[in-house]
Amino acid sequence: MPITIADVAAHAGVSKTTVSRVLNGKGELNAATAARVRQVIAELGYVPSAGAVGLARGRTQIVGMLVPSLTWPWIGQVLQGVIDVVEAEGFGLLLFTCDRGEESLRRFAKQVSAKSFDGLLVIEPEGTLDYITELHEAGLPVVLIDDRGHRPLFPSVATTDRSGGESAAQHLLELGRHRPVVITGPESFGCTQERLAGFADTYAANGHPLFPDQIVVGDFTFEQGRAAVTAMLSTGMTFDAVFAQNDLSATGVLLALREAGIRVPEEVAVVGFDDVPLASYSDPALTTVHQPLREMGDAAARMLLAHFKGVPLPNAASVLPTHLVVRDSSLIRTQLQPDPR
């Protein structure tokens, strides 16, 4: 029922080879025959079967993407960047998740072996790096979208976590905040370490080294950010700024401060990290380090697609810069414009 290349060939009175050639623009062909074939293709609404083409060519025109979860807000941003370029190039995007279970990794491995896609984009699910490295070494084109600190010798796109931490510190120092507190992400994440190092080094370089009690290991959740601040306040500890390493925990920090009757930013300034939509909707709106998430997805996809066209994959991270977005949680509003409160 569905029409095939054989139908087109028959209708146009040529061989399948010729049809294939006009389809792919390969080889010299008589302008008139080409036009006739194109005509028939249009009339019949013929589209080559992706599966057959893939089998014959040994390439699927599909890029695989492995992510840890689809419910984290920032992943959607990266995905959107990826899919925009993948679709524009006529490729398909096959999506996989791995929730770190044995089972889910096995299922994914099977798809790899089945050659379901030509190359892989990955936001690394925890604990899968060894496997991904293996795939890469076995010859599968892989590009890592890295939120955990840069991997040397691996094609990846990353962001400037360290200088993001620095810019947060710089901003708070300029505001005269000398007694900040940091609420980090999970200790094992590279990004956590980078953001902390950039922040702490900047404070140290400016004569205000951080003491251990100013650093709380967190887990990137709203609840933990809130609880950490509440706990610190209950010990009587004082601070004039909080650098939370993601926006979600920063939002928890804002709530804890309000619950304690502490004014933001007058008494305590708050800076987050990510710049997810939530950061604009919190009250006060959150000053935060913007991660170029969409651009990272975009860059990773371009890198992979370029590789399919012969451009070698760079064996190093391509780094896209973060930048600080200043909002009301750190900057005291001037009263030039009438404030309805």
Partner DNA sequence: CTGAAAGCGCTTACAG
We find the least distance from the C-beta atom of residue 47 to a copy of itself, in angstroms, to be 4
Our CB check for DNA shows the closer of 41 and 279 to be 41
The residue type found at 242 is: V
Footprint of a copy of itself (CB under 8 A):
2, 45, 47-55, 60, 62, 69-73, 75-77, 79-80, 83-84, 87, 90, 92-97, 104, 107, 110-111, 113-116, 222, 230, 248, 251-252, 254-255, 258-261, 277-278, 280-283, 340-341
CA 184 to chain centre: 19
Torsion of CA 20, 26, 32, 34, to 10 degrees: 30
Q: Which is nearer to a copy of itself, 98 or 173 (CB)?
A: 98
Selection from a copy of itself, DNA, none that 324 binds (CB < 5 to 8 A by kind) is none
d(C-alpha 100, C-alpha 96), whole Å: 12
Minimum separation from the CB atom of position 230 to DNA (A): 58
- Which of a copy of itself, DNA, none does residue 193 bind to, with CB < 5 to 8 Å depending on kind? none
List residues near DNA by CB under 7 A.
Answer: 2, 4-6, 13-21, 23-24, 26-30, 32-34, 46, 48-49, 52-53, 55-58
Q: Which is nearer to a copy of itself, 185 or 252 (CB)?
A: 252
The nearer residue to DNA, 44 or 285, going by C-beta atoms, is 44
Residue number, 13 or 73, with CB nearest to a copy of itself: 73
Q: How do beta strands 323-325 and 287-290 pair?
A: antiparallel
Give me the least distance between CB of 103 and a copy of itself, in Å please.
Answer: 9
214: number of Cβ within 10 Å: 19
Give the E-state strand segments of the chain in sequence order: 62-67, 92-97, 119-122, 142-145, 156-159, 180-183, 215-216, 241-244, 269-274, 287-290, 317-320, 323-325
Q: Between β-strands 180-183 and 156-159, what pairing exists: parallel, antiparallel or unpaired?
A: unpaired
Query: Minimum Å distance from CB 114 to a copy of itself?
Result: 4
- Count the residues in the chain: 341
Which residue's CB is nearer to DNA, number 48 or number 190? Answer: 48
Nearer to a copy of itself, 46 or 154 (CB): 46
CA-to-CA dists, residue 109 to 76, 303, 323, 334, angstroms: 23, 23, 37, 57
Q: Are 215 and 238 in contact (CB under 8 A)?
A: no
Hey, how many other C-beta atoms are within 10 angstroms of the C-beta on 9?
A: 18
CB of 79 to a copy of itself, least distance (A): 5
Q: To the nearest whole angstrom, how small is the minimum distance from the Cβ of residue 262 to a copy of itself? A: 11
- CB distance 211 to 151 below 8 Å: no
Please state the closest distance from residue 72 (CB atom) to a copy of itself, in A: 8
